[in-house]
Structure formats: structure tokens, C-alpha cells
């Protein structure tokens, strides 16, 4: 929806600006406008699809691989270490209990 409004605004603004220009300049501006609209649509349609496919983790999996390094039953916390060496504490040990 936002992209449609963006494209409509570009078309209206361009038509107002080019109304008094020679036909050669109008053709150049029209070609530039068509290119901008095409790139915008391509980015929204295919960029969104690719991002959506990459951003969603499968059911039951976490998006980042990590190794459990500590289980603390008394505080109900678990600590995992990712590939970069960062430690991530979580509450709810029942989700990670093995």
C-alpha cells in the first residue's frame, strides 16, 4: 500500500513538473520515472519474498545455532554459547532440558 502511494506521488509530481517542458525532456523524464517505478516494484515484490523466506525459522528451530553451556535448575535459567562466543541466558529451562 505504501509503495502504491509512493508511485502515485512520483507520477503526480513528475507530471506537474514536466508540464511546460519540451517533448524531448518529457520523454527523458518519463523513461527515468519508468525505471524508478520498475526498480521500486522489483525491490518490493522480490526483496520482500526473499526476506520473508530467509527470516522465518522452521517450526521448533531457533534462527541461531548455539551450544548449551549451563543449566541452572534453581534459578530456572539456561545459558547457551553461539558460534561467536557470545553467551545468551534464557529463562524456562523446561524448553531446553535434555
Average of per-residue pLDDT across 44-48: 69
CA distances from 30 to 18, 27, 33, 83 (A): 9, 5, 5, 50
- pLDDT higher than threshold 80 for residue 80: yes
| Band of pLDDT at residue 38, cut at 50, 70 and 90 | confident
pLDDT, the chain, mean: 75
pTM to 2 decimals? 0.38
Report yes or no: 90 and 96 within 8 Å, Cβ to Cβ. Answer: yes
Amino acid at each position: 500500500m505504501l509503495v502504491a502511494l509512493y508511485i502515485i506521488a512520483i507520477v503526480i509530481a513528475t507530471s506537474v513538473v514536466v508540464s511546460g517542458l519540451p517533448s524531448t525532456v518529457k520523454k527523458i523524464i518519463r523513461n527515468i520515472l519508468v525505471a524508478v517505478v520498475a526498480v521500486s516494484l522489483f525491490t518490493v515484490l522480490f526483496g520482500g519474498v526473499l526476506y520473508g523466506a530467509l527470516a522465518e525459522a522452521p517450526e521448533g528451530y531457533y534462527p541461531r545455532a548455539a551450544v548449551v553451556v549451563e543449566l541452572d535448575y534453581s534459578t530456572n535459567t539456561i545459558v547457551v554459547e553461539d558460534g561467536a562466543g557470545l553467551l545468551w541466558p534464557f529463562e524456562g529451562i523446561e524448553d531446553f532440558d535434555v
